[in-house]
């Protein structure tokens, strides 16, 4: 499932290529016909993300709300002015990915409109310069501003928004719960946007036992956990991939085994030892040499170092 940094990158891309554009909105698959009709012919006024939820804002107070879920992905195309990623999402059996348009693909000098839809396209957005197709999303709906506000109200603070009071709200929420930290970090009501990769890497970087109850933390430790989440996810927005290790760990064992979509960009080499523990079960911990452990918690895989992450 795409984590919060990917959805914020989607919001930025939508804002760049569609803001101020009047869109033709359709549902080639047929499952979003009524919602598409409400948006068709209207102008995009902005794009925003809260955690894993994307909100594309249209005039007259309507929004397209999308949660990609496990298998959702957006594909993009258009003329020379339509730049950015050509695909962001989590296609089935591929895992989270971003395919970046680095300018090497020739763009048509004259835009003739989007190609014929391929596969089950839930919604198509088309402007005078380009198009975006959505497939496989868990949620795709047209909302009013009040309905969108209700969705946001159910979510916890987003580290990538990091609004005044968010850090304090996170700390208070964590310290009030007996739930294990590994479960709290995946609870979108406690913190919005963190997924399985960030969960494992954050707990390792902070040396925290995944089963430690939230209320067992001090406010200082919980604050450091929030600060590291802000820093790590902000790096993900910048890089377009999740890299949680510093450069001294890069280039050795498992160098090609980072998160999907890792072509060289933003100054990063193509092969990077991206993670400390995620998907490294049975391999030596990069810090202490103890084999990385794997179990399940809440029907999701949990990776940790039994030596480095002790109560």
In this prediction, residue 252 carries a pLDDT of 52
Asked, for residue 11, whether it belongs to a domain, the answer is yes
CATH number for 245: 1.10.8.50
Q: Is 296 part of any domain?
A: yes
Structural domain contains residue 83: yes
Residue 263 has pLDDT above 50, yes or no: no
Query: In the listed set 100, 131, 153, which residue is the last one of a domain according to the structure?
Result: 153
Q: Do both 142 and 174 map to the same domain?
A: no
Per-residue confidence (pLDDT) for residue 96, from 0 to 100 = 60
- For residue range 136-146, list pLDDT tens digits in order: 999 999 999 99
Q: What percent of the chain has pLDDT over 90?
A: 72
29 and 147 assigned to the same domain:
yes
Provide the domain limits for residue 91.
Answer: 4-153
Quote the pLDDT of residue 254. Answer: 42
Asked which of 100, 123, 153 is the last residue of a domain, the reply is 153
Q: What string of H, E and C letters represents the secondary structure of the chain?
A: CCCHHHHHHHHHHHHHHHCCCECEEECCCCCCHHHHHHHCCCEEEEEEEECCEEEEEEHHHEEEEEECCCCCEEEEEECCCCCCEEEEECCCCCCCEEEECCCCCCCCCCCCCCCCCCCCCCEEEECCCEEEEEECCCEEEEEEHHHHHHHHHCCCCCCCCCCCCHHHHHHHHHHCCCCEHHHHCCCCCCCCCCCHHHHHHHHHHCCCCCCCEHHHCCHHHHHHHHHHHHHHHHHHHHHCCCCCCCHHHCCCCCCCCCCCCCCCECCECCCCCCCCCCCCECCECCCCCCEEEEEEECCEEEEECCCCCCC
**Does position 36 have pLDDT exceeding 90, yes or no?**
yes
What per-residue confidence (pLDDT) applies to 87?
Answer: 79
Longest Cα separation, the chain:
62
Question: Residue holding tokens 């310069």?
Answer: 129
Residue 30 and residue 138 in one domain: yes
Q: In this predicted structure, what is the pLDDT of residue 253?
A: 47
pLDDT for 256 equals 39
What band does 260 get if pLDDT is binned at 50, 70 and 90?
A: very low
Tell whether 261 is covered by a domain.
Answer: no
Contact 270, 260 (CB under 8 A): no
Residues 143 and 217 in one domain: no
User: CA angle, corner 278, sides to 275 and 280, nearest 5?
Assistant: 90
Task: Supply the pLDDT for residue 304.
Answer: 97
Q: How far apart are CA 71 and CA 165, in angstroms?
A: 33
pLDDT, averaged across the chain: 88
The answer to whether residue 159 sits within a structural domain is: no
Say what the pTM is.
0.89
Q: 168-177 pLDDT, tens per residue? A: 999 999 999 9
Tell whether 221 and 122 lie within a shared domain.
no
Classify residue 208: in a domain, yes or no.
yes
Last residue of a domain, one of 87, 118, 153: 153
User: Greater confidence, 174 or 263?
Assistant: 174
Do residues 80 and 138 both lie within one domain?
yes
Mean pLDDT within 12-17: 92
**In the chain, pLDDT over 70 holds for what percent of residues?**
86
- The catalytic residues are 2-3, 52, 300
Beta bridge partners of 75: 87, 133
Residue 213 has pLDDT above 70, yes or no: yes
Q: Say if residue 52 is in the same domain as residue 140.
A: yes
Within-domain flag for 263: no
Give the angle subtended at the CA of 276 by the CAs of 257 and 239, to the nearest 5°: 65
CATH code of the domain covering residue 86: 3.20.190.10
Same domain, 14 and 104: yes
Confidence of residue 101 (pLDDT cuts 50, 70, 90): low
pLDDT (0 to 100) of residue 93: 42
- Total domain count for the chain? 2
If asked whether residues 12 and 115 sit together in one domain, one would say: yes
Calculate the alpha carbon distances from 155 to 25, 29, 151, 164 in Å: 28, 30, 7, 16
**Is there a single domain that holds both residue 211 and residue 108?**
no
pLDDT tens digits, one per residue of 47-76 = 999 999 999 999 999 999 999 998 899 999
Round to whole Å and give the CA distance between 217 and 180.
11
Does the structure show a pLDDT above 80 at 154? yes
* Tens digits of residue pLDDT in 287-301: 999 999 999 998 899
Q: Is 161 domain-assigned? A: no
More confident residue, 108 or 217: 217
CB 197 within 8 A of CB 259: yes
**pLDDT over threshold 70, residue 38:** yes
């Amino acid at each position: 499932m795409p984590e919060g940094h990917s959805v914020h990158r989607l919001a930025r891309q939508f804002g760049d290529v569609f803001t101020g554009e009047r869109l033709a909105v359709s549902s080639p698959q047929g499952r979003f016909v009524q919602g598409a009709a409400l948006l068709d012919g209207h102008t995009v006024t902005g794009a925003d993300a809260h955690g894993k939820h994307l909100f594309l804002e249209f005039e007259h107070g309507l929004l397209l709300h999308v949660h990609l879920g496990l298998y959702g992905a957006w594909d993009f195309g258009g003329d020379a002015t339509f730049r950015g990623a050509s695909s962001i999402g989590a296609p089935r059996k591929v895992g989270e990915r971003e395919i970046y348009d680095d300018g090497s693909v020739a763009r048509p000098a004259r835009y003739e409109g989007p190609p014929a839809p391929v596969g089950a396209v839930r919604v198509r957005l088309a402007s005078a310069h380009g198009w975006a197709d959505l497939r496989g999303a868990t949620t795709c709906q047209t909302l009013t501003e009040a309905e969108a506000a209700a969705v946001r109200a159910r979510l916890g603070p987003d580290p990538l928004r990091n609004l005044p009071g968010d850090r304090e709200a996170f700390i208070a929420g964590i310290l009030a719960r007996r739930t294990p930290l590994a479960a709290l970090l995946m609870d979108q009501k406690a913190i919005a946007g963190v997924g399985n990769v960030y969960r494992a890497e954050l707990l390792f970087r902070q040396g925290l036992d995944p089963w430690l109850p939230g209320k067992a933390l001090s406010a200082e430790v919980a604050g450091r956990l929030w600060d590291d989440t802000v820093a790590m996810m902000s790096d993900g927005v910048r890089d377009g991939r999740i890299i949680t290790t510093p450069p001294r760990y890069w280039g050795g064992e498992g160098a090609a085994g980072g998160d999907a979509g890792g072509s060289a960009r933003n100054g990063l080499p193509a092969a990077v030892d991206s993670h400390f523990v995620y998907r490294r079960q049975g391999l030596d911990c990069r810090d202490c040499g103890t084999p990385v452990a794997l179990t399940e918690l809440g029907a999701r895989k949990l990776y940790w170092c039994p030596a480095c992450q002790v109560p």
